[in-house]
Structure 1
Amino acid sequence: MIEKILGVLSAFVISVISSMGYGGVVLLMAIESACIPLPSEIIMPFSGYLVWRGEMTLWGVAVAGAVGCVLGSLVAYYVGAWGGRPLAEKYGKYVLLSHRDLDLADRWFARHGDIIIFVGRLLPVIRTFIALPAGVSRMNLSRFVIYTFVGSLIWCYGLAWLGMTLGENWQGLRPYFHQFDFVIGGLLLLGLTAYVYRHVRR
């Protein structure tokens, strides 16, 4: 089932980038960063494959990907800033989210938001959703944009470089990233379990 979904997504990514070029990279990475799980692990390696074919440049696709990430992240940021906090305050108790937790998140983003965003943009799964809590905590917007761009540029360049290096075998990366997604998902599940246990015990 998962392989079929990835196959459909791959066909969609290939079609968009093949027809729109750099604009397609911007569009797809914006979708991925707006909390819509469209895998950058397909988008950027295919862009790197086109670099290998001489149809694009490595820095061109990396910058296009990073710009798309910023645009999509701004959408998620403002969703969190305008609607996330009021909803969290009103309904958070139903998912064990207290005002203390929200205040703690605010302090964390105020003190460590730069590194949280930067590192978050380098992690599968997390990178797709990291802008939402940043918006809820009203992280400084200019710093949010800067660190989103820098972290995303590194991520996009790395994936595009791998795609360029592998050439026609660029899709061989998919199984490895898929396994890494499971690792990140498992760690998030452990963290969620600990969070629920702590709140229930309290």
Structure 2
Amino acid sequence: MTAIASTSATPSESWLTRIMEYLVELMELIGPAGAGIAIALENLFPPLPSEAILPLAGIAASLGTFTLAEALLWTTAGSLVGALILYGLGRWLGVDRLRRIAVKVPLLHPEDIDRTVAWFTRHGGKAVFFGRMVPLFRSLISIPAGVTRMPVWKFTLLTAAGSLIWNAIFVLAGFFLGESWHIVEEYAEVFQVIVIVAVVIGVATFVYLRTRSLLRQRRRSNTAATD
């Protein structure tokens, strides 16, 4: 394992660690295209951490494996390819299919899909651009863009711009900080935890309010039946 790979080593040999090592070897084997493939996979499989993959591409650039421009170009291209695949999935699902799915899912209503689509239609541009810089939502934001059939050219431009900013932060961290890039990763992990906690609170609040509403409706129905 080379100097690049040593920066990704961790005390515990988890499945994620092994995948990271394979991705590092891919970068070493085929150059910047390997970094692009790694980031495309990260978009399709969010548990792969972009904030760990991208600095390794920066370190590879600092060691002369490829140039910094190539690292930024290929990682952004990889982000775009992964996002377009999920965008295509969203277009295939469509609003009507999602409404039919919502009917079968407990606590969901077709009206929830309609409200989400209406919101995304109004704010989709900002959601796609800034969503590319938010953990978890980096990947997921592509699906509603496809569902609402955002023009492909607009989605491509916004995704490329947002991805370039996010990728540049971590690629440059690896390029300039070298093995000390973990300093930046620590801040990214804090940000990710905040996002996850916010999502959990949001989902829990939705489940609580929807469950309470259903219980009230059931009590009203029972009362009306006994009168």
What is the TM-score normalised by the length of structure 1?
0.89
Q: Does 1:16 align with 2:34?
A: no
Cα deviation 1:67-90 (Å, max 9, x = unaligned) = 111111111111121135444222
2:14 pairs with 4, 8, 23, which one? 4
User: How does 1:63-82 map onto structure 2 within 5 Å?
Assistant: 63-82=73-92
CA deviation after TM superposition for structure 1 residue 38, in Å: 2.0
Larger radius of gyration between Structure 1 and Structure 2: 2
- For 2:47, what is the secondary structure of its paired residue? coil
With 40-49 and 135-144 compared, the bigger mean Cα shift is at: 135-144
1:122 pairs with 104, 114, 133, which one? 133
Show the counterpart of 1:188. 199
- For 1:59, what is the secondary structure of its paired residue? helix
Show the counterpart of 1:31. 41
CA deviation after TM superposition for structure 1 residue 201, in Å: 3.1
Cα deviation 1:179-200 (Å, max 9, x = unaligned) = 4322211111011112222322
Calculate percent identity across the aligned residue pairs: 31
With 130-139 and 73-82 compared, the bigger mean Cα shift is at: 130-139
| Distance change >3 Å, CA 115–CA 79, structure 1 → 2 | same
- For 1:56, what is the secondary structure of its paired residue? coil
CA contact under 8 A between 2:84 and 2:142: conserved in structure 1? yes
Q: Which has the higher contact order (CA 8 A, sep 6+)?
A: 1
Q: Does 1:155 align with 2:166?
A: yes
Show the counterpart of 1:164. 175
With 75-84 and 142-151 compared, the bigger mean Cα shift is at: 75-84
Cα deviation 1:86-129 (Å, max 9, x = unaligned) = 44222213143322221122222222111101111001122122
AA at the equivalent of 1:126: F
Q: Report the aligned-residue RMSD.
A: 2.2
CA contact under 8 A between 1:30 and 1:69: conserved in structure 2? yes
What is the TM-score normalised by the length of structure 2?
0.80
User: Structure 1: which 5+ residue stretches go unaligned?
Assistant: none
Q: 2: CA distance between counterparts of 1:149 and 1:2?
A: 35
User: Structure 2: which 5+ residue stretches go unaligned?
Assistant: 1-10, 214-227
